[in-house]
Amino acid sequence: MAYITLTDIKTRLGISGTAEDTKLQSMIDASIAYIEEYTGRNFSGANKVVTEEEHDITPINIRKDYTTVFLRNVDVNSVSEVKLGYIDEVLLPSDAYRLSKTGRLAISGRAIRSLIQQYDDLQDIKVTYSYGYRKDGVLSTPASINEVIAGAVENMRNKRFSGASSEKIGDYQINHGSGGGGSFKSGSGAFSGGSVYTADMLAILDGYKVYNLGG
């Protein structure tokens, strides 16, 4: 299962025409972006690949058995490469690190000490990995997450027809304009759509938040 589609939303809302397609897709995109930011997770049903860099880890952790790097995302499914160094990057062998399900990457202190004897500048670490929510080992989108997206879109649409000129969801703002038009753009500001996400919807999202996961 993947994220709910425009066709699914239109069926749910009983919309047959195409006049609102751009607006509805903007609402779907805004809701997905907010949910991923709010929970810290990727529910798309597909892996996302990112590269992260951390700095100044070697002087602090060189004497430890393992140097632990906390990746920004959980549900990490694979690490394709780990590099040390800033100017001269050194690729670590795959047996020099291990990964936890919540995105903690433990790098062998012995491997780091061995490399430091050969290279001067190894204070930066670069990790390339893929992540995505899995259920029973399969990448998927929880039905409850799609229900939250659908509910948020429905609430945003209702607010538009009630006369609201714009909605701000996380870092995204939808300007309604007249009729089925309007625009969608990113911007700054915190979530302020209390009437868009109900308490029940936020309770669902809270259950998926990163801080509610085990180690």
Point out the least confidently predicted range of 46-60, 68-82, 148-162, 179-193: 179-193
Same structural domain for residues 35 and 56? no
CA distance 49 to 75: 12
Give the Cβ contact number of residue 53 at 10 Å.
10
pLDDT in tens, 130-141: 999 999 999 999
Same structural domain for residues 146 and 118? no
Same structural domain for residues 71 and 146? no
Q: Which of 111, 131, 151 is the last residue of a domain?
A: 131
In the predicted model, is pLDDT for residue 166 greater than 60?
no
In the predicted model, is pLDDT for residue 30 greater than 70?
yes
Looking at the 3D structure of the chain, how many domains does it have? 2
pLDDT at 61 (0 to 100): 53
pLDDT at 211 (0 to 100): 67
> Using 50, 70 and 90 to split pLDDT, how confident is the model at 96?
confident
Residue-number span of the structural domain to which 155 is assigned: 6-44+139-212
Provide mean pLDDT across the span 39-44: 93
Same structural domain for residues 89 and 156? no
Asked whether residue 1 is domain-assigned, the answer is: no
Provide mean pLDDT across the span 50-74: 70
Same structural domain for residues 77 and 106? yes
CA distance 132 to 78: 10
Same structural domain for residues 126 and 63? yes
Q: Which of 131, 159, 177 is the last residue of a domain?
A: 131
Measure Cα distances from 55 to 68, 126, 128 in Å.
13, 9, 15
Same structural domain for residues 117 and 175? no
Compute the mean pLDDT over every residue in the chain, rounded to the nearest whole number.
Answer: 78
Same structural domain for residues 84 and 110? yes
Q: Which of 110, 131, 152 is the last residue of a domain?
A: 131
Same structural domain for residues 92 and 153? no
Same structural domain for residues 124 and 174? no
Determine contact, residues 129/71, Cβ cutoff 8 Å: yes
Same structural domain for residues 81 and 120? yes
Give the Cβ contact number of residue 60 at 10 Å.
10
Asked whether residue 168 is domain-assigned, the answer is: yes
